[in-house]
Amino acid sequence: MARSHRSQIVAWSGGKMMKHKAIDSVLKAILVGVMPALAAGALIHVDDDAPLGGDGKSWATAYRYLRDGLVSAQGWVWAGSPEIRVAQGTYTPDQSEGHPDIIGERRATFELTGGVSLAGGYAGVGAADPNRRDIAHYITILSGDLAGDDASVRDPNRLGNESTRADNCHHVVTVTGPGVLDGVTISGGHAWGIPDLPLKGADLMGAGLFVTGADLIVRKCLLEANFANEGGAAYVEDSNILLTQCTLARNGAAVQGGAICSRAPRDVELASCLLIANEAVEGGGALCCEGGLVEVRNCTTVANEAPKGCFLLDLTGRPAPRIGSSQPSFLLASFSPAISRRTTGATTRQ
């Protein structure tokens, strides 16, 4: 078929209906969960300016550390999906009130699962209205820079060798079940080697987000300056993930998937996202995928670079679509004409 006939949406292989069911299930879980969560008090507050000793039940008694908020949220999963509201500030996953022993631990990570919703951008402690939310003004940063000493690096290919990042955590956030990230910045993840400890497997993947067995929605987030062997901003395996209205900027990969690497995926969807200046040394400057369905809608891509596939590298050998300002979204459904017709209107294989 003519290329123009498949130019509205990007989608690899089948499973679109499954994807929507999966995403719907997350949304329903959140929507159903919010009301009982609120009723049960499972609305948890975190602010890095809060005094120690808080219980998270209000802004006046907010937790200082996000890690404590996440632990508390797990205790409320039974009552519905808890919501964590995180005020303006910078949060690192090695800090908590009860475990000073993990300070500087590179394997520390924010663990999100159980349908927990984590929302940043609140004014927080000391504000006239601490519940006021403006994600552009009250910036909530989840940072992998445990020591708070990262030098600014503009070139993502140089993130890997930047010595001030060698002690950063491997994954800023690890997602292992249903969850929502909304209005936060995720930066400084460093799933990359250090001289005296050869890293293997997961330690090398997904510096911003490591996503496995998850149903995740990422909404209005900035993922910036994360570096990994694969998937600088996010490594996704056996998971459904939807990123909407997000910016993925200046993330890097030593091998492939400067921004996102998706292996054994179910469904990966990007909607109304900006992908800018992500780089991979081998392939997939922005995205690297291995099967599954990948859908890109109304996205903008600028200056993503890699020797193979500036925007995307598909490891299954399917031809990568071209995406640019004149073609911000499109469809490539390669393995099943039947599914292509049903879900996209396409009539032939790629």
CA 13/CA 122 separation, integer angstroms: 40
Bridge partners of residue 197, in order along the sequence: 194
CA geometry: angle 135, 228, 16, nearest 5 deg: 70
- Could you tell me the CA-to-CA distances from 124 to 49, 76, 83, 304 in Å, in that order? 8, 22, 15, 36
Considering the complex, state which of residue 47 and residue 269 has its C-beta at the smaller distance from Ca ion: 47
Stretch that binds Ca ion, among 22-30, 69-77, 88-96, 272-280 (CB under 5 A): 88-96
Q: Which one among 145, 182, 224, 237 touches Ca ion, defined by CB under 5 A?
A: 145
Q: Report 255-294 residues binding Ca ion (CB under 5 A).
A: none
**Shortest Å, Cβ 179 to Ca ion:** 22
AA letter at 231: G
Q: Which is nearer to Ca ion, 117 or 168 (CB)?
A: 168
305 sits near Ca ion (criterion: CB under 5 A): no
| Side-by-side strand order, sheet with 222-224 | 89-91, 140-143, 185-187, 222-224, 247-249, 274-276, 300-302
Binding window for Ca ion (CB under 5 A); candidates: 1-9, 123-131, 270-278, 308-316: 123-131
Q: How many residues does the chain have?
A: 350
Find the shortest distance in angstroms from Cβ 103 to Ca ion: 13
SS (H, E, C) 153-174: CCCHHHCCCCHHHCCCCCCCEE
* CA nearest neighbour of 204 among 256, 151, 276: 256
Specify the residue, 49 or 134, whose C-beta has the smaller distance to Ca ion: 49
Nearer to Ca ion, 49 or 155 (CB): 49
Q: Does 88 bind Ca ion (CB under 5 A)?
A: yes
Residue from 68, 94, 111, 150 binding Ca ion (CB under 5 A):
150
| Spacing of C-alpha 223 from chain mean position | 7
- HSE of 302, CA atoms in CB hemisphere, 13 A: 8
Considering the complex, state which of residue 47 and residue 224 has its C-beta at the smaller distance from Ca ion. Answer: 47
Which of 48, 203, 267, 269 binds Ca ion (CB under 5 A)? It is: 48
Distance between CA atoms of residues 346 and 171, nearest Å: 38
Can residue 149 be called a binding residue for Ca ion (CB under 5 A)? yes
Judged by CB under 5 A, which stretch of 13-21, 42-50, 68-76, 274-282 contacts Ca ion? 42-50
Between 88 and 212, name the residue whose CB sits nearer to Ca ion.
88
Q: Are 250 and 223 in contact (CB under 8 A)?
A: no
Contact 269, 19 (CB under 8 A): yes
Applying CB under 5 A, the site for Ca ion has a residue count of 13
The residue range among 61-69, 78-86, 138-146, 260-268 that interacts with Ca ion, by the rule CB under 5 A, is 138-146
Determine the distance from the C-alpha atom of residue 255 to the mean position of all C-alpha atoms in its chain, rounded to a whole number: 19
If the CB atoms of residues 25 and 164 are measured against Ca ion, the closer one turns out to be 164
Q: Does 47 bind Ca ion (CB under 5 A)?
A: yes
Binding site for Ca ion (CB under 5 A): 47-49, 87-89, 124, 145, 147, 149-150, 164, 168
